[in-house]
Structure 1
Amino acid sequence: MSYTWTHIYKITLLCGMIFIATSISVAQIVFEKDTLTIFSATGKAHKFNVEIASTNEERSQGLMYRKNMAKNAGMLFVYNKPNNVTMWMKNTYIPLDMLFFNSEGKVVYIKENTTPHSTKTIASDQDVIGVLELNAGTTFQLGIKVGDIAQHRLLQR
Structure 2
Amino acid sequence: MTKFKIILSILIFATWGPTASAVESVTFPLKKIKLKSKVITVEVAKTPKQRERGLMYRESLKENQGMLFVFDQDNILTFWMKNTKISLSVAFFDKKKKLVHIEDMDPPESVMMLDQNLKRYSSLEPAKYALEMKKGWFKHNKIQIGDAFEWVQ
TM-score bracket, shorter-length normalisation = 0.7 to 0.9
> Over the residues paired in the alignment, what is the CA RMSD in angstroms?
2.5
Q: Cα deviation per residue 1:24-62 (whole Å; 9 max; x = unaligned)?
A: 3212311010001112xxxxx111000000011110110
Change beyond 3 A, Cα 1:46–1:25: same
The aligned amino acid for 1:24 is: S
Map 1:1-157 to 2 at 5 A: 22-39=19-36, 45-112=37-104, 114-117=105-108, 119-152=118-151
Q: Which amino acid aligns with 1:70?
A: K
CA–CA separation in structure 1 for the residues paired with 2:41 and 2:108: 24
Q: For the residues of structure 1 that align with 2:143 and 2:74, how far apart are their CA atoms?
A: 22
- Counterpart CA distance in 2 for 1:74 and 1:131 is 10
> Aligned to 2:19, what secondary structure does the other structure show?
helix
**Are residues 76 and 2 of structure 1, via their aligned partners in 2, closer, same or farther at CA, if it must alter by over 3 Å?**
closer
Deviation (angstroms), 1:22: 2.1
Deviations 1:85-139 (A, max 9, x none): 1001111111011000001000000113x11137211001221101000001111
Gaps of at least 5 residues in structure 1 are 40-44
Structure 2: how far apart are the matches of 1:149 and 1:95? 23
- Secondary structure at the counterpart of residue 130 of structure 1: strand
Give, as a single letter, the amino acid of the residue that structure 2 aligns with 1:110: I
**TM-score normalised by structure 1 residue count:** 0.79
* In 1, Cα distance between equivalents of 2:40 and 2:2: 60
The separation in 1 between residues aligned to 2:64 and 2:34, in whole angstroms, is 11
**CA spacing shift, 1:25–1:149, aligned 2, 3 Å:** same
**Cα shift at 1:2:** 7.1
* Percentage of identical aligned residues: 32
